[in-house]
Amino acid sequence: MAKGSYKLNNSFYPKENIHYFNQLKQYAPEQFQAFSDFNAAVFKEGALTKKEKQIIAVAIAHVTECPYCINSHTLSAKAEGATLEELVEAAFVTAGVEAGGAVTHSTHMQNAMDAEGDDTLYKRSNLKKLGRLSKYASEGFKGYLGFSSVVMKAGKLSAKLKEIIAVAVAHATECPYCIDVHTKNAQKLEATHEELSEAILITSALLAGGAYTHIANMIESYGE
Q: Quote the CA–CA distance of 59 and 139 in Å, as a whole number.
A: 28
Arithmetic mean of pLDDT, 122-142? 82
Q: What angle do CA 64, 100, 13 make, to 5 degrees?
A: 20
Against a cut of 0.85, is the pTM above it? yes
Whether pLDDT at 196 is above 60: yes
For the chain, percent of residues with pLDDT exceeding 90? 65
Whether pLDDT at 127 is above 80: no
Spell out the domains of the chain, with CATH numbers in brackets. Answer: 47-222 (1.20.1290.10)
Arithmetic mean of pLDDT, 193-209? 98
Q: Quote the CA–CA distance of 213 and 12 in Å, as a whole number.
A: 12
Q: Quote the CA–CA distance of 104 and 223 in Å, as a whole number.
A: 44
The tens digit of pLDDT for each residue in 74-107 reads 999 999 999 999 999 999 999 999 999 988 887 7
Q: Quote the CA–CA distance of 193 and 184 in Å, as a whole number.
A: 12
For the chain, percent of residues with pLDDT exceeding 70? 90
8 A C-beta contact, residue 89 and residue 155: yes
Output the CA–CA distances (angstroms, integers) from residue 28 to 3, 24, 49, 131, in the order listed: 19, 6, 31, 51
Q: Quote the CA–CA distance of 99 and 145 in Å, as a whole number.
A: 10
Report residue 179's pLDDT band, with 50, 70 and 90 as the boundaries. very high
Whether pLDDT at 110 is above 70: yes
